[in-house]
Structure 1
Amino acid sequence: MITQLKDDQYETLLPLLNGLWPGQTPSEWQDELVGFVGDKDAAFFVAWNDDEAIGFSQVQLRRDYVEGSSSSPVGYLEGLYVDEQMRNQGIARKLVEVAEQWAFRRGCTEFGSEVELHNVESQQMHERLGFQEANRTVSYIKTIGGSQMMDCVVITGSSKGLGEGLVESFVEKGIPVIGISRTESATQSGVTSLLYDLSKSGVPLTATEHVWQEIEKIGAKRVTVIHNASVIDPIERVGNLDPDRLETAFRVNVMAPMLMTNSLFQHARGTDVQLTIVNVTSGAGSRPISGWSVYNSTKAAINMHTEVAGLELEQSQSSHRVIAYNPGVMDTGMQETIRSSSADAFADLGRFKELKEKGDLRSPRTVADALRDLLFAGDVTNGEIYLVTDLLEGK
């Protein structure tokens, strides 16, 4: 686990700082760390093994010229250390990734570092982490965010609503898209459209086979899969539910993403393909809504699937990631379905009509861009459920 230290937690760093830069006394380090209290342009991230701090990264925004850079500010790796007994487990890479993500969120598109000329081991580590040598001092620079984070993205339910917004968002950034939908969509450059109805038995696995063939054709190694396809029907009270529509909802909302993720992990086993799975969820997965027993249940199920899969990946120290994304309320066809429900079946009907009338529904493209920026920013936390409101805060 990696956490960002708060101002009152800097004492945790003392043994780690001494491991990286020996020679200073604890009081000298404490005096130095006081200078970082309240500094919004600096951050410390610590890697933990249970309750023991085993490594850290220090990142700072540099606004003066950074060797090899072409922008400002530049995120700068001021320090990186992992306890000798815990090395070669990918911890340093994760510490750098969270530092890059922090810098990217503050407007940086480049990330710098430097090492001493004689420190060949550190130079080799920087190059493994994607840095490019900028000068023989040795200074390093790398681009962060953007298309380097993925080679292609797979989107289910890609022909309308949030799915359509996601396709536009990624194509705009030059990311190849493999779209899966049950209805035809307009031909677009950079988009491979696959027609599959994920509510039909056996189709999710057939679709996955086709997707994997396309991934191999592209030669993609970093693949993001967004399980966006979803249905809200049936909206009805328990006792009045249509059995066929109930079964369809579970096939699309739960079975399809679980089956496809399971199959993709099997395909990726033994390869160097790194998967990031995003399950699109809803606030309905964590609170009961009268008339929504089916939708509530399917989203609660996909939330738990996300958390368990994330836990398992962390335990196995896998490079794959599984997260969930709550897009909030959007102006989509699903909202139209909600507003067309009967008041008898759906007690909160008036509130959803009011959201539309007041213009409080976000556009699918706004929500899509927020997810894209999260993924471009770098490493995401396994099992985490990300909320669009948090991602758009301050924007």
Structure 2
Amino acid sequence: MTTHLYILTGASRGMGLAMAEQLLQPGNTLLCISRHANADLALSAQKAAVPLSQWTHDLADGEGASERLRDWLLAQNPADFVSVSLINNAGVIPPIKPLRQSQAADLAMALRVGLEAPMALSAAFVGATQAWPMPRKVLNISSGLGRFPMASQAGYCAAKAGMDHFTRCLALDEAPLPNGARVCSLAPGVIDTDMQVQLRGAAGEAFPDQAKFLQLKAQGQLSSPAQAAEQVLRFLARPDFGREPVADVRG
């Protein structure tokens, strides 16, 4: 039986978990890569009779994760799949403070998880599946903060800006190939996740934009993880996915 293969990082909570739950549909196979497995997700997959694998891997080790993914893909039979998609969703927000007060280890972690790992996983994915004849897609979950600067957010903003730009480069690499992967770095809108809790709870003197995030919550302008996941997956399924390498789910 041929299926649609989805590889998803950061699937244990937030929008990543919501995407994983929504992908548990007949005809899909799901591989999740996160620091922790999610027992409820495993139970849902069992009930839905959808093949699910959960790799517990810290994406601060992007090299190890990408090598494992490359080896796994090379061991698969392409005839088992009608499409294959990599969704780089995992990311971390470093402590919210001006760069002058930031710790090198915190900045390194944000860049390893938010930029280095997606680059390495994308490289492994497109390399290992280059000869596969079916549609291949890379969806990188970016942010408006990769396109607009914000005080006390240098590490996160830099990771997302780098994600946008490496996606542009990857699109150029893949465009001339007979079955080049279609790629997009997508901003998913403003979502009520743990990151929003961190932003709202930041010290006002260290984070000048705190009031904006408090207002978004108070005025009900945040999408739920499930709503955002639905929009993102709908975007991934569009026939023109990859036409623009950098996009926003809000159009």
Relative to the length of structure 1, the TM-score reads 0.57
Structure 2 residue aligned with 1:246: 107
Cα distance change on mapping 1:229 and 1:387 into 2, 3 Å: same
Question: Separation in 2 of the partners of 1:215 and 1:286?
Answer: 37
Which of 180, 185, 191 is residue 319 of structure 1 equivalent to? 180
Question: 2 CA distance for matches of 1:231 and 1:185?
Answer: 18
The size of the alignment, in residue pairs, is 242
Q: Which of 191, 197, 219 is the equivalent residue of 1:330?
A: 191
Q: Does 1:151 align with 2:4?
A: yes
Please tell me whether the aligned partners of residues 309 and 383 of structure 1 are also in contact (alpha carbons under 8 angstroms): no
Is structure 2 residue 214 aligned with structure 1 residue 361? no
Which residue of the other structure, out of 188, 191, 203, is the alignment partner of 2:64? 203
Q: Which has the larger radius of gyration?
A: 1
Is contact 2:61-2:117 (8 Å) kept?
no
Distance 2:80 2:27 in 1: 16
The CA deviation at 1:246 is 0.5
Paired amino acid for 2:103: D
Unpaired runs of at least 5, structure 1: 1-147, 391-395
Q: Percent identity?
A: 26
Paired AA for residue 324 in structure 1: S
CA apart distance, 1:334: 1.4
Q: Deviation per CA, 1:30-73: give whole Å up to 9, x if none.
A: xxxxxxxxxxxxxxxxxxxxxxxxxxxxxxxxxxxxxxxxxxxx
The CA deviation at 1:234 is: 3.0
Q: How far did 1:210 drift?
A: 5.8
| Matched-pair contact (CA < 8 Å) for 1:268–1:274 | no
1:1-395 to structure 2, matched below 5 A, reads 151-172=4-25, 174-186=27-39, 187=42, 188-189=44-45, 190=50, 191-200=52-61, 202-209=63-70, 211-212=72-73, 215-216=76-77, 219-390=80-251
Q: Which has the higher helix share?
A: 2
Deviation at 1:377, TM superposition (A): 3.1
- 3-state SS in 2 of match to 1:337: helix
Task: Considering Cα pairs closer than 8 Å and 6+ residues apart, tell me whether 1 or 2 has the greater RCO.
Answer: 2
Conserved 8 A contact 1:196-1:207:
no
Task: Return the alpha-carbon distance in structure 2 between the equivalents of residues 343 and 282 of structure 1.
Answer: 22
Whole-angstrom CA distance in 1 between matches of 2:217 and 2:241: 32
Cα separation, 1, equivalents of 2:38 and 2:96: 27
Cα–Cα, structure 1 residues 206 and 290, in superposed 2: closer, same or farther, change >3 Å?
same
Q: Distance in 1 between matches of 2:70 and 2:171?
A: 23
More strand by share: 1
For structure 2, the 5+ residue unaligned runs are none
Mapped to 2, the partners of 1:285 and 1:328 lie a distance apart of: 12
RMSD, aligned α-carbons = 2.2
Describe the SS at the equivalent of 1:202. helix
